[in-house]
Structure 1
Amino acid sequence: MEGAAINLFDTVDARTKLAGSNRMEILLFSLGTSEIFGINVFKVREVSKTPFITRAPNMPHGVEGLISLRGNVIPVLSLGKILGLSRPDQALGASMMVTEYSKRTLGFLVHEVDRIIRVEWDKVRQPENMTLASSQSYITAITELDDGKLVSILDVETILAQTFGEAPVGAIAPLQRDDERDTNVFFADDSMVARKKIVEVLDKLGVRHKHALNGQEAWTRLDALAKHAEQRKRPLTEELDLILVDAEMPEMDGYVLTRHIKSDNRFDGIPVVMHSSLSSEANRSMGKAVGVDAYVAKFDAEVLSETLRPYLMKSNRD
């Protein structure tokens, strides 16, 4: 690996076919402890040996400095320090993962990169009893290897927000309704940070909202809403105007959730918008393949609100 990077996307065409299969691929790595960590392969551009890092003053905790990567200057973070797992005298990780999510490119230093595994989303569970004061606040899900070892899957959105701070949600004009009916949005996202931001946007738009923490919970609740509308002999469009889904979620991903919604005529006329930190064209194509009406990359509050606005205004006029 000396002086060269491992290209993880040699089989990107095969990976795009995972859309709708409720499977994901995880890159496994360690941080110098006995724990095994993972990150969605679609968030990783390449893996290399740790390059020379230029130190810079006043960097946030865990940011080791900057590197130049093909003409772009990017920050490099020590995951061990951010998760509180590194000793003060411990050397920087030997490997660097170059990640891309939420339209940002970052370097993550790790002790060692292991391998890529393919897992079923229904084998990926949300962690329980995790305190925000521990490194576990950065873990979005847990899965189990064939040998019984657990893999902690990182919540990169929380790492980004807690390291660099959260951009405030600016002024968003509320919807101008043609009638007095409430506008209702249902959204699903497993990231606490993302849910907080989505709620801020929806509140500023002046719409009512409900949410779920993963795709399976979302489908259960949406099915219940549809059954309730049927019992009342009223179209579901009177109670629900739009569904916003994350792409990667425990138990059922956003692609399978969208496919369920789009193949069920009870949801006819209700647009589905995919909102994901996986911002590559490959992921947009995956969303279109399962029928999403729009795809918006996390997280730009103005872009999200302006993506939702025409769908919500249309539903108010119909």
Structure 2
Amino acid sequence: MATNLVENNSLLDSVDARTRLAGSNKMEILLFSLGTRETFGINVFKVREVGKAPHITKTPNMPHGVEGLVSLRGNVIPVLSLVSFLDLQDPPKEPGKTMMVAEYSKRTLGFLVHEVDRIIRVDWEKVRAPESVLSSNQGLITAITELDNGTLVSLLDVEQILANAFGEAIIVDIPPAQVAEDTGVFFVDDSVVARRKIAEVFDKLGVKHKHATNGVEALGRLQGLAAHAKQTNSPLRNDIRLILVDAEMPEMDGYVLTKHIKSDSRFDGIPVVMHSSLSSEANRAMGQAVGVDAYVAKFDAEGLAETLRPMLER
């Protein structure tokens, strides 16, 4: 894999270009290597720039996998060695000297890798959950896709990696919402960590919840709930007061899922909120382009609760 370093203005498309991907069920992946024969990928929308790693300042009591801190344009950011988190065959001794600077949930971080290859565009329907593939890394690999030459690409669950490094977000006391006891919501997210934290928020709000792990599963379950409501001649809103969707998911992303929901009159009056670690303005614009009612960056439990509360109580 040849190294091909790219900087912010050439790596990322313009807001308009990226917004055009919304609803197309396509994603752009930045391919990279961790010094083995395996190929890994990360959503390019999360990457701000790629370049040679600057001097890393070692600091005491850093969590496992965190190499230290770097100063980047006046900001001090932590740098994680991705090799340290994955169970690789014949792992390299060094963490790599190429750094990807990424933004997750309003947090900027550096990820050390060995080589960066290129950006590819793939259909989400060709992205699958890992199942038994790379079972030793289950929980850290969120999905698998295949290149035209047969090469498998493992997409990292960065949310799980960050939780392993820094611990999961602590959810403080959230006052219950003023809703009826049988108020229900539906959410979908492919990350185990995210599903667990979202469920905690809904539990504290005092609302019942159902969930799915990808967009295809979510659409099928939602359509089933809508069909049952029609059959029993009861308003669907009695069962689902709100739908919370992730942006990135195998098989069908949150943008396409939202388009399906918004084009189905059975879901009229049920707000759709996008909840994503893709927290840039470009991604908010993509959400707006498909009609989401609100966009919340992961993972701010209080912010999520306060966004959802008025929609649940009205």
Q: TM-score range by the shorter chain?
A: over 0.9
Q: Deviations over 1:38-78 (max 9, x none)?
A: 00001100000121111111111111111000000001111
- 1:14 CA displacement: 1.6
The residue that corresponds to 1:158 in the other structure is: 160
Which residue of 2 is the match for residue 235 of structure 1? 235
Check if 1:79 corresponds to 2:105: no
Tell me the CA shift for residue 297 of structure 1. 0.3
**Matched residue pairs, number?**
311
- For 2:198 and 2:91, locate their aligned partners in 1 and report how far apart those are by CA, in whole Å: 37
* 2:97 paired residue among 91, 94, 97: 94
Question: 1:262: which partner in 2?
Answer: 262
The Cα shift of 1:136 comes to 3.2
1:88, distance to aligned residue in structure 2 (A) = 8.3
1:269-288 matched pairs, under 5 angstroms:
269-288=269-288
Question: Could you tell me how far 1:130 is from its partner in structure 2?
Answer: 6.5
Q: Is the 8 A contact 2:104 2:277 kept in 1?
A: yes
TM-score by length of 2: 0.95
Q: Which stretch shows the higher mean deviation, 281-290 or 77-86?
A: 77-86
Q: Residue 183 in 1 paired to residue 186 in 2? A: no
Answering whether residue 47 of structure 2 is matched by residue 44 of structure 1, we say: yes
Secondary structure, in 3 states, of the residue corresponding to 2:129?
Answer: coil
Q: 1:89 to 1:120 in 2, by over 3 A?
A: closer
Asked if 1:16 is matched to 2:19, the reply is yes
How many angstroms apart in 1 are the aligned matches of 2:48 and 2:130? 27
The corresponding residue for 1:298 is 298
Determine the structure 2 residue equivalent to 1:33. Answer: 36
- The one of 49, 66, 69 equivalent to 1:66 is 69
- Cross-structure match for 2:244: 244
Structure 1 stretches of 5 or more lacking a match?
Answer: none
1:107 aligns with 2:116: no
- Larger mean CA deviation between 85-94 and 103-112 belongs to 85-94
Question: Distance between the aligned counterparts of 1:238 and 1:191, measured in 2?
Answer: 28
Q: Deviations over 1:104-129 (max 9, x none)?
A: 10000001000000000000001103
Is structure 2 residue 223 aligned with structure 1 residue 223? yes
| One-letter amino acid of the counterpart of residue 144, structure 1 | E
Give the AA of the match of 1:106.
L
Is contact 1:95–1:110 with CA below 8 Å preserved after alignment?
A: yes
Q: Which residue of 1 aligns with 2:206?
A: 206
In 1: Cα distance, 2:207 partner to 2:92 partner: 51
Q: Which runs of 5+ in 2 are unaligned?
A: none
Select 1:116's aligned residue among 100, 116, 119.
Answer: 119
CA distance in 1, matches of 2:249, 2:13: 24
Residue type matched to 2:287 in 1? G
C-alpha separation in 2, matches of 1:172 and 1:130: 39
SS of equivalent residue, structure 1 residue 182:
coil
Distance 1:89 1:152 in 2: 18
Contact 1:246-1:276 at 8 Å conserved across structures: yes
Identity %: 72
Corresponding residue number in structure 1 for 2:195: 195
Aligned residue for 1:173? 175
Q: Distance between the aligned counterparts of 1:3 and 1:208, measured in 2?
A: 47
Cα deviations across residues 125-175 of structure 1 (Å, max 9, x unaligned)? 01103788x333210000000011100000010011110111211001011
| CA distance in 2 between partners of 1:214 and 1:97 (Å) | 27
* Cα contact 1:131–1:137 (8 A) shared by 2: no
Q: 1:90 to 1:6 in 2, by over 3 A?
A: farther
Structure 1 contact 46–98 (Cα < 8 Å) conserved: yes
Looking at structure 2, the residues matched to 86 and 208 of structure 1 have their Cα atoms a distance apart, in angstroms, of 43
Give the 3 Å change call, closer, same or farther, for CA 12–176 of structure 1 in structure 2: closer
Q: Report the Cα offset of residue 217 of structure 1.
A: 0.3
Partner amino acid, structure 2, of 1:233: N
Indicate the RMSD between aligned Cα atoms, in angstroms: 1.9
Query: What SS is found at the alignment partner of 1:55?
Result: coil
TM-score (norm 1): 0.93
Q: 1:142 to 1:131 in 2, by over 3 A?
A: closer
